[in-house]
Amino acid sequence: MTDSFSIALAQINPTVGDAEGNADKLLAARAEAAKLGADLVVPGELAISGYPPEDLVLKPAFQAACEAAAKRVAEATADGGPAVLITTPWRENGKLHNAALLADGGKIASLRFKHDLPNYGVFDEKRVFAPGPLPGPVVCRGLRLGVMICEDMWTQDSAECLHESGAEILIVPNGSPYESDKLDERANLAVARIVETGLPLVYVNQVGGQDELVFDGASFVLNADKKLVAQAPSFAEGISLTRWQRGTDGRWSCIDGKVEKPPEGLAAIYRAMMLGLADYVNKNRFPGVILGLSGGIDSAISAAVAVDALGPERVRGVRLPSPYSSQHSLDDAAETGKLLGMRVDTVPIEPAMQAFDAMLRRLYNDKPPDITEENIQARARGLALMALSNNLGHMVLTTGNKSEMSVGYATLYGDMCGGYSVLKDVYKTTVFALSKWRNENFPVGALGPKGRAIPERSIAKPPSAELKPNQTDQDTLPPYDKLDDILMCLVEKEMAPGEIARRGHDAATVARVQRMLDLAEYKRRQAPPGVKITRRAFGRDRRYPITNAFRPKP
């Protein structure tokens, strides 16, 4: 029986589908942990396949690739170094499981399968995996470890079963995506499991971006007294070594671990946006990004995030003025580029507007100019950006925010053109707050220049699409502070219109916003992916029918 033990929390950034590369990452983490004297290395959930693998994991060839990669990691433990908890898809008795394999001494010593498969929000695991039985402990070098894979910690059954069957430390490999205020929820659930079992708990989360999800790491250890004794950095790969000791009462405690304070609020949101964009661009092998710079706040903060995530040399901005573009907007767009150190080109769209008018005017039946001409401006800009993307290889970033996408204040095949949306899950009021925050702070890990990043006038001036003279967003929308509160009630909280009106909003305005939200579903279905920030992101979290006759009563 051992009385001391060292566990390395391996926060790695896997790429979905790259089983061989992910195995290399895990082996590199093991090599680093070995130098620190670790006995066991624990990564996040499905470290071999990447998480979430979605329907890719249904391919037999991919299942075989994951198993071969997992066996290669297991064989590497024959060198006498640390054991590894290998998290991977695994086939057993004709069923596919979300599994954890304890590898030591060159072989797979134990297998455990995820029992509680989540099937809500962004998760669809019942679609691809079979549930395992309630787990019993695995023995690693004399220590009985209770392995609970991610969702198994969210409910009490697995923890209770492990406690009753003699587990001494709870180990929880995770693939828990970032959301605002998610850290508190994770900690509260971990505390609940500790209260129920009296056991210390090790929580290891993956880090990195995967399509619309960002995994923020922030792995942690809580002792049996519920005290936080170790926390890994957020939004960064790394190895965190924790040293454990068996007390005279036979109970284990973590006696040595470093606590890194996680970022909160706007700082966390900004870093999630940076990491999500960087991994989307880099993992999909784009040389860089290109975006339209209007001089407004949305394109300015999108450019700032892009430069901070990728470096100014990989970001190109384009001013696309029409006859309605103000000189101050052109100047603000130029200042954005100067502040961020990025290249900015100018492509006037008036020739395209004239060409489309000449092509289509005879079919307009002498109707006066209306939204048709406004949308042509947006589509001409989208066409120009997509042409530059094709020519240069850079991915186009869209710059619309969640408030606009909620109410359909966006043009299909126009400002919605692009491969990725930095602000997809960020309300307009948060856009203002993030812009002010970035001007006063330099994000950890940023590749952009220090100091002010957003022109002050872009923050201060009334938002406008500038598609006709003297236009502002508030011509057709409520003020953004009111609009966002209504939208948060409708989208995040699923509140009825009458409840929202009782918060102090005009009932007719609430009904109009509700109708705009419902009617814009077809646009959102065609929108590019973007970083999930809130509990109810459009797409994965909030799935509504396009054809929908339901209208809630006031």
Q: Furthest-apart CA pair in the chain: how many Å?
A: 91
Mean pLDDT, residues 497-524 taken together? 90
In what order do the strands lie in the sheet containing 289-292?
Answer: 343-346, 315-319, 289-292, 395-398, 420-421
Report which DSSP code applies to 491: I
CATH 3.60.110.10 maps onto the chain at: 4-262
Share the mean pLDDT of the chain. 91
Number of C-beta neighbours around residue 233 at 10 A: 21
Residue tagged active-site, from 66, 67, 114, 417: 114
Quick one: pLDDT band at residue 52, thresholds 50, 70, 90? Answer: very high
Query: What is the C-alpha to C-alpha distance for residues 186 and 203, in angstroms, rounded to an integer?
Result: 9
Q: What are phi and psi of 395, to 5 degrees?
A: -80, 140
Q: Nearest Cα to 149, choosing from 139, 163, 134? A: 134
129, 135 Cβ separation under 8 angstroms: no
Query: What is the C-alpha to C-alpha distance for residues 294 and 328, in angstroms, rounded to an integer?
Result: 10
75, 106 Cβ separation under 8 angstroms: yes
149, 172 Cβ separation under 8 angstroms: yes
Mean pLDDT, residues 301-320 taken together? 97
- Residue 536: predicted pLDDT: 81
The residue type found at 312 is P
Number of C-beta neighbours around residue 335 at 10 A: 20
DSSP string, 207-232: EEEETTEEEEB--EEE-TT--EEEEP
pTM above 0.85, yes or no: yes
Calculate the alpha carbon distances from 74 to 104, 130, 143, 529 in Å: 7, 23, 19, 36
Tell me, rounded to whole angstroms, the distance of Cα 461 from its chain centroid. Answer: 30
Q: Kindly give the residue spans of alpha helices, DSSP state H, lying in 219-367.
A: 265-283, 297-310, 327-340, 350-360
CATH 3.40.50.620 maps onto the chain at: 266-473
Tell me, rounded to whole angstroms, the distance of Cα 512 from its chain centroid. Answer: 31
Three-state DSSP class for residue 333: helix
Report which DSSP code applies to 535: S
Condensed to tens digits (0 to 9), the pLDDT of residues 399-427 reads 999 999 999 988 889 888 999 999 999 99
Mean pLDDT, residues 18-25 taken together? 96
Calculate the alpha carbon distances from 461 to 297, 302, 332, 429 in Å: 9, 17, 11, 14
40-42 and 83-92: which strand pairing? parallel
Q: Structure tokens of 56?
A: 């890719």
Contacts of 431 (CB under 8 A, 6+ apart): 297, 298, 301, 401, 423
Mean pLDDT, residues 263-277 taken together? 96
Condensed to tens digits (0 to 9), the pLDDT of residues 245-258 reads 999 888 999 998 89
- Residue 238: predicted pLDDT: 95
- Residue 364: predicted pLDDT: 85
Condensed to tens digits (0 to 9), the pLDDT of residues 225-245 reads 999 999 999 999 999 999 999
Residue tagged active-site, from 66, 150, 417, 489: 150
Quick one: pLDDT band at residue 471, thresholds 50, 70, 90? Answer: low
Q: What are phi and psi of 5, to 5 degrees?
A: -160, 150
* Per-residue pLDDT at 497 exceeds 70: yes
- High-pLDDT (> 70) share of the chain, %: 97
- High-pLDDT (> 90) share of the chain, %: 73
Q: For 266-473, which CATH class?
A: alpha beta
Condensed to tens digits (0 to 9), the pLDDT of residues 199-226 reads 999 999 999 999 999 999 999 999 999 9
44/546: higher pLDDT: 44
Active site residue 114: yes
Mean pLDDT, residues 312-321 taken together? 96
Query: What is the C-alpha to C-alpha distance for residues 6 and 22, in angstroms, rounded to an integer?
Result: 23
82, 30 Cβ separation under 8 angstroms: yes
Condensed to tens digits (0 to 9), the pLDDT of residues 373-389 reads 888 999 999 999 999 99
* Per-residue pLDDT at 13 exceeds 70: yes
- Residue 474: predicted pLDDT: 63
* Per-residue pLDDT at 325 exceeds 60: yes
**Cis before residue 52, ω within 30 degrees of 0?**
yes
Contacts of 108 (CB under 8 A, 6+ apart): 70, 71, 74, 86, 101, 102
CA 29, 33, 36 angle in degrees (round to 5)? 150
Mean pLDDT, residues 455-473 taken together? 69
Q: HSE (CB half, 13 Å, CA atoms) of 3? A: 4
Q: Which fold has domain 4-262?
A: Nitrilase/N-carbamoyl-D-aminoacid amidohydrolase (3.60.110)
- Residue 465: predicted pLDDT: 55
Quick one: pLDDT band at residue 473, thresholds 50, 70, 90? Answer: low
Report which DSSP code applies to 504: T
Calculate the alpha carbon distances from 535 to 118, 209, 293, 300, 403 in Å: 15, 17, 29, 25, 15
Three-state DSSP class for residue 184: helix
Mean pLDDT, residues 89-93 taken together? 95
Mean pLDDT, residues 503-524 taken together? 90
